[in-house]
Structure 1
Amino acid sequence: MEVKMTVKIEIFTKNLELTERLNNYVETKVEKLEKFLEEVDESRVDLSHAKTARNANDRYVAQITLRGRGFILRSEERSDSIFSAVDAALDKMRRQIRRYKGKRPRGRGDGQTIAAAIEVPEEDYEIDELPIVVRRKRFMLTPMDEQEAIEQMKLLGHENFFVFFNANTNEFNVLYMRRDGSYGIIIPEIG
């Protein structure tokens, strides 16, 4: 009899106490993702409470990251309770897993056409809703170099990315922080 090893789920919190109830809730829910995607090597859940959020419905944040051979899937959701934020992030992750599995190349090897190989009843087929842009933001860009952009990113408290106009290259750049604490720059090009 083969025993399947489950991936350890790492749970990190910020401005939030990880109670036994919350820990068990998260572990139970995230373990169920394995039935959708078996190649997961690392599962990470980040839970936080933002006291200064503008909207009370955005105070609790749940972010789920799954890493495996050749993929990284991440979902983040906000809510007025940590449990509903976790549930929303799990729903989003399930959609991402379905999307990821749909894009992976799978050989049939038997010469069948795609139509013959896929037999999906219509009622089981889901169409993901297209995302809607709910907010647009305009801001003035001041030309700066990369070091100034890093300082500005820190001053603004942006943890993920910072868009700036690079004075040295006369191009728009996106500065982002990497997991190891170093920085990366994305240089968009029109193709």
Structure 2
Amino acid sequence: MIKYSIRGENIEVTEAIRDYVVSKLEKIEKYFQESQELHARVNLKVYREKTAKVEVTIPLGSITLRAEDISQDMYGSINLVTDKIERQIRKNKTKIERKNRSKVATSQLFTDALVEDADTVGAKVVRSKQIDLKPMDLDEALLQMELLGHDFFIYTDVEDNSTHVLYRREDGDVGLLEVK
């Protein structure tokens, strides 16, 4: 069962919007065990130029499912974000299970649903975040970066306890920065 935390920025979250978000996200419940309690954080934001941003984050213990979309149509963005989350689950279910095998029994996370194989000059800081660096190996960090949909990911290497940064290169490959 999914519990929802739906927040609006520059928009009032009406009952109709809340119901729409819940009805769309309920379609991913089939991938999880009924006894699994999930907490989905949904952030809806409307900008002055009439665009809407929809972000959905679902923590699953050692990994986090996350998707976002920006468009002129909030309801369309809700649909796209739900589809992105569902694709992440379907594409990465086997990888997630492998990484969580020693931490959480996989059967506690997912059901047996179908799996698919798987310019800054003059810029200013407008948002600051604090993060906890989790010890993990390179494969787990790559998976986490992909699931979050980010172009970079910072983590602590489980073997030598040093800080590493993964980043997506312009050619589509991934680079690794090792802090000494």
State the shift of 1:127 in Å. 7.5
Q: Return the TM-score normalized by structure 2.
A: 0.56
**Counterpart pick for 1:84 among 76, 81, 86:** 76
8 Å contact 2:58–2:65 — kept in the other structure? yes
Q: Judging changes above 3 Å, is the alpha-carbon distance between structure 1 residues 81 and 179 closer, same or farther for their aligned structure 2 residues?
A: farther
8 Å contact 2:70–2:77 — kept in the other structure? yes
Give, in whole Å, the separation in 1 of the partners of 2:61 and 2:38.
7
Structural RMSD (CA): 3.4
Q: Spell out, residue by residue over 1:59-84, the C-alpha distance to the aligned partner (whole angstroms, 9 max, x if none).
A: 11111111123221100011111100
8 Å contact 1:79–1:85 — kept in the other structure? yes
Q: Return the TM-score normalized by structure 1.
A: 0.53
Q: Judging changes above 3 Å, is the alpha-carbon distance between structure 1 residues 83 and 105 closer, same or farther for their aligned structure 2 residues?
A: same
Which ranges in structure 1 are unaligned for 5 or more consecutive residues? 1-5, 107-123, 129-136, 143-151, 160-175
Q: Quick one: which amino acid aligns to residue 78 of structure 1?
A: I
Matched, 1:47 2:47: no
Larger RCO of the pair (alpha carbons < 8 Å, separation 6+): 2
Matched, 1:178 2:130: yes
Q: Quick one: which amino acid aligns to residue 83 of structure 1?
A: Y
SS in 1 for 2:2: coil
Residues 91-130 of structure 1 aligned to structure 2 (within 5 Å): 91-103=83-95, 104-105=97-98
Q: Quick one: which amino acid aligns to residue 177 of structure 1?
A: K
Identity percentage over the alignment?
Answer: 25
Give the aligned partner of residue 65 of structure 2: 73
Bigger radius of gyration: 1
**Counterpart pick for 2:29 among 9, 28, 34:** 34
State the shift of 1:41 in Å. 2.6
Give the aligned partner of residue 10 of structure 1: 5
Matched, 1:20 2:10: no
Which ranges in structure 2 are unaligned for 5 or more consecutive residues? 100-113, 133-153, 156-162, 166-176
Q: How many pairs align?
A: 123
